[in-house]
Amino acid sequence: MAQSAIDYARSALELDSSALDFGEVEDLINANPELFDMLCDPSVTAETKHDAIDKVLQESVKDFLRLFIAETEKALRCELIYCTPPDDAQIEAIKAKLMRLYDKPEVDIKMIEDKSLIGGFLLRVGDIEYDYSLKSRLDGISRKLCRG
């Protein structure tokens, strides 16, 4: 990830610095947070992201964002929320499944501990949640019993 930041900085320096207006990007994202969400969503194709930035940004900023999009397209980012830490084999199996499912060469997993899950795990990929937690299953059984 450090190399990516260096690449972004190099790209910004190579562009005409007098034409760079990142304030424009900040204003646009503040006014349209769904644009930022779409640009960060791993389920949205790079083509769709490029179309969006082509419609709303100046050329100087587009080049920088294209580099960002290219970098973010390489790795799928997700969160794995767990009660008990998974072992290396389990993590590798989850990564392999996600690489196949999302057609990505890499998967970056942010690990988050949450004892309230009781057991199992919750996996978040963009706006999609895969809930394999014991808490969720017990809540489902409880709802069924209460309905009658």
Q: What is the pLDDT of residues 75-87, one digit of tens each?
A: 888 999 999 999 9
| pLDDT score, position 67 | 74
This prediction has a pTM of 0.55
Sequence ranges of the domains in the chain = 2-73, 75-147
Question: Hey, what amino acid is at 53?
Answer: I
Answer positive or negative: Cα dihedral of 63, 66, 72, 75.
negative
Question: Which regions of the chain are under pLDDT 50?
Answer: 1-3, 5, 17-19
Percent pLDDT > 70 in the chain is: 81
Query: What value does the CA radius of gyration of the chain take, rounded to a whole number of Å?
Result: 20
| pLDDT score at 11 | 55
